[in-house]
Amino acid sequence: MHHLRRLINIKDSEFMLLSYNILINKTFKKNMQEMNERSTEKKLFELAQDAQKKAYAPYSLFAVGAAIEGISGNFYQGCNVENVSYPVGTCAEAGAISAMINGGDRKIKRILILGSGKNLITPCGACLQRIKEFSDDSTLILLADENGIQKRLKITEMLPYGFANLE
């Protein structure tokens, strides 16, 4: 440290001030980042709640809402859409991904899934593969119940060996 100070020819008081400024700056940036993350998560949750209210689930009565933050910073929503021919129904995640593609985004930064009832739900196997198609290693899956986000998992944790073109 002494060596470094001598090298850049700086007084003790200046050095302290400089270190202090760097520390404050780092803390400030970290706090700002955390605040942004929290407000993005809040927005995702509200969008998923809004989508969940629009779900078409007359057969299961299990409404699901999903919301995506694309890499562009834009947001997209989806809800489950059931069908009298049960397998024809689609998941909320699929709807949100369609909206994202239609909106011009190609990468999911975060996707939040909100189910009905007391238990957390996770994306089904098919939806994990759908999410993987538009993910990178940092893509997050946020699992929420009516009280808010309860779990944050990476797609790589939920689907470590998903189908992909290996080169």
Query: Which residues, including other chains, have CB under 8 Å from residue 158's CB and lie 6 or more apart?
Result: 122, 123, 128, 141
Residue closer to Zn ion (CB basis): 10 or 81: 81
The secondary structure of residue 26, as a DSSP letter, is H
And the tokens for 141? 């899956």
Residue closer to Zn ion (CB basis): 40 or 98: 98
Min CB(161)–Zn ion separation in Å: 18
93 is catalytic: yes
Min CB(127)–Zn ion separation in Å: 3
Residue closer to Zn ion (CB basis): 22 or 124: 124
Other Cβ atoms within 10 Å of 41 Cβ, number: 19
In the set 46, 93, 133, 167, the catalytic residue is 93
Min CB(14)–Zn ion separation in Å: 59
Q: Which residues are catalytic?
A: 93
